[in-house]
Structure 1
Amino acid sequence: MARVISIPHNLFILPDLISHCHYPLRQNPHCYAVSRASDQWLFDMMRLAEPEIRGHAHIDMDTGALAAVCYPNADAFHLQVCSDFLNWLFIMDDWMEYNAVDLQRTRESCIFALRDPINFDTEQLGAKMCKSFFSRLRETAGPGCTERFIHASELFFAAVAKQVDDRTKGNMYDLESYVALRQNLSAVKIGFPLIEFVAQIDLPDEVVSHPVVMALQDATNDHTIWSNDIFSYNMEQSRGDVHWHNMVAVLMHERGLDLQGAIDYAGQMCKNAIQHFESSRANLPSWGEEVDKQVAIYVEGMQNCMVGPLHWQSNSARYFGKDVHVVKRDRIVKLIPKRPTM
């Protein structure tokens, strides 16, 4: 008979996500220099913030390292735009989620900055940051790539607004509604135009909107967000956030699973996403030699956007604190005690 292993209630075991994701991990050679430059950019921007806003900055997150594994072929200029964008994204997500800024004003200001970064001016810090990196992005990005970046950003802001509203009203998500929200809340879709940007290509709209290419995007998005929900669960449960944005908690509620069962289920969802990616890749049509070369770059970029964040998160103190190296070795996570409510 198979031996049944009892898992204590105060810990869980991570799925072996890295072994399941077989794509090669590559790091951009400009990583260190760009990381320092991007952190300096963030520090200079944050000097403009009010003290209570400044306290929400996470300069030690090393988003430059994340950009470096997502966009390993970028030159230094393009990599820093990506790193600055990621710094902005993490800061904006925290500010809006925890009501450190006026959500509606921030959302409108950032969209205006994206639509007209040259002429638009504002004192709103998030929009100033947005204008800074997006003005540089527009220098080399093609029109299709630029418009796709703006559209994905609009979807992200709309999803954040809905999440904040749901939290305020105490609305809970079932599996279907959570999946629909998380697809845009993750901001992974904003990263797809950056693949074109760093490669200095501009795919035709009919290619990006083709059902097979969209299936590849969906699979990439799914793998990235479900693995993130697994990695971030402990941090989020400790502060009482999981019911509003974590698949593990949704699965426990919706499917009646215990914590380890939900973690394992989410891990299987990550494996399914990779299988979906590969089956979609096998069905890619041809658009001619030149476009096919660009599509191959785009597909490889999506691979990088799956495997890169996976390794970055497994090495990140953001999710596992000082125990990050032990967790990476053993895959055993001890639950952080919940913070007392005021």
Structure 2
Amino acid sequence: MTIEEKQSVTGTGIQTGPKDVIILKRPEIAKGDTITVKIPDLLVSILEKPRNLNPLFDKTLDMDDWVCKLLGFDERLSKEWVNMRFPLLCASMIPNSSEQPLRGYNEWVAWAFPFDDRIDGGDLANDLDGAAAEIIETLAIMDDDHPIIDPEVNGIRHIFQKLWLRISKYAPPDERRRYKRLNREYMLGLLQQIKWLGYKDRVLTIDEYLAFRRPSSGVGPTCLFAEWSVTESNKIPCEVVEHPSVEIFRYLVMDIVAISNDIYSCPKDIPNGEGSSTVCILLKQGYSLQEAIDEAGKMVIDRYKMWEQAVRDLPSWGEEIDAVVLKLIQAYSDVCWGDTMWSFQTARYMGAEKEQARATGMLTFAVKDVEKAARVPQSS
């Protein structure tokens, strides 16, 4: 089956394949006037120290072939998927994980990106009822009596169920409970995204935007996989993991990854007409593109400062537990670092400009795409 290039609101970065799978990427830059902007260097403070890639990375490269066959991708879409470099993302975000959590996170990412893309810029972007129905069906998969899903019937749900069966086998009850809760919050965040972005003639505040962007970023479940990379061999009471002084780091990870991702992905988001972006929200508030990117960068740096203060404010649970808590916090910061490094390696966000962006920080946009993203529709 050939891939169909669908014309989106402002670009052609929406690709559909068999079984209604949708993949978003950066389209070719539209012809006409262009503008070049500089993105900030965010590899400072808690991200200044380089991390090593998970040594099990090579063992997870087979995930690409498995996903492409499962979802029925043809040669072209398979190449697009491989160029996204999702195994690299996983190996960067949880660099110290053993094989089970790492493979589990690869499965979660393989499910989450196609699931998310349907809502970000696909067939469910403006369909609140349709998205709600899909989410209800997906959440039901985590019921113990849910029937086995045939991959030929729904490959995306099959991936989600395969992961849930893995977690049911290896994770203790309290971690299964948290996994369910965090995935539910993620999906409900996506519903809130559709609702808020549906107010076409209203300019959101950053606080309103982040209220749904935090859960819809998918960072909550990601943090759980990062925790497993630590707690698998370092047991820690659940009440410590869920203590407010530790919880704040998960909130900060959500903000850091969400906002920095909005910077790195704006070459994809702006031409594709995706409104769920800090940069796009600021454009609609009257910022120029460079001003919006700079402001988003300042927001990330502010979170770094909050992180450093939160480390200083940590209480003590005794020497042994304190040591594990510090490992947890390091694992959370690894999530931020891995997302940043991957953003310059994947073809998803910056396309052919990713090498240039990594070397110089410079990115090019079509002026007409930026103007369209900044436009606020007037109510009739």
Q: Secondary structure at the match of 1:23?
A: coil
Shift of 1:176: 1.7
Provide the aligned C-alpha RMSD in A: 2.7
Shift of 1:120: 3.4
Question: What stretches of structure 2 of length at least 5 have no aligned partner?
Answer: 1-32, 373-380
Which deviates the most, 263-272 or 203-212? 203-212
Partner of 1:239: 272
Query: Which of 53, 58, 75 is equivalent to 2:98?
Result: 75
Contact 1:227–1:270 under 8 Å retained in 2: yes
Shift of 1:140: 2.1
Shift of 1:59: 4.2
Partner of 2:204: 173
1:1-342 map, 5 Å: 10-20=35-45, 21-34=47-60, 36-47=61-72, 58-97=81-120, 98-99=122-123, 102-116=130-144, 119-122=146-149, 123-170=153-200, 172-199=203-230, 200=232, 203-241=236-274, 244-254=275-285, 256-336=286-366
Shift of 1:121: 3.1
Shift of 1:172: 4.3
Q: Percent identity?
A: 22
Contact 1:248–1:262 under 8 Å retained in 2: yes
In structure 2, the CA distance between the partners of 1:203 and 1:189, relative to structure 1 (3 Å rule), is farther
* Deviation string, structure 1 residues 249-278 (Cα, Å, up to 9, x no partner): 222333x32211111111111111111111
Shift of 1:185: 1.0
CA distance in 2 between partners of 1:19 and 1:290 (Å):
29
**Number of residues paired by the alignment?**
325
Match of 2:208, as an amino acid? S
Where relative contact order (Cα < 8 A, 6+ residues apart) is larger, the structure is 2
In structure 2, the CA distance between the partners of 1:111 and 1:230, relative to structure 1 (3 Å rule), is same
CA distance in 1 between partners of 2:160 and 2:236 (Å):
24
Which deviates the most, 21-30 or 266-275? 21-30
In structure 2, the CA distance between the partners of 1:24 and 1:146, relative to structure 1 (3 Å rule), is farther
Q: Secondary structure at the match of 1:335?
A: strand
Shift of 1:288: 2.8
Richer in helix (by share): 1
TM-score by length of 2: 0.78
In structure 2, the CA distance between the partners of 1:77 and 1:205, relative to structure 1 (3 Å rule), is closer
Which deviates the most, 274-283 or 74-83? 74-83
* Deviation string, structure 1 residues 294-340 (Cα, Å, up to 9, x no partner): 32221111010111111110222211111211111111111046679
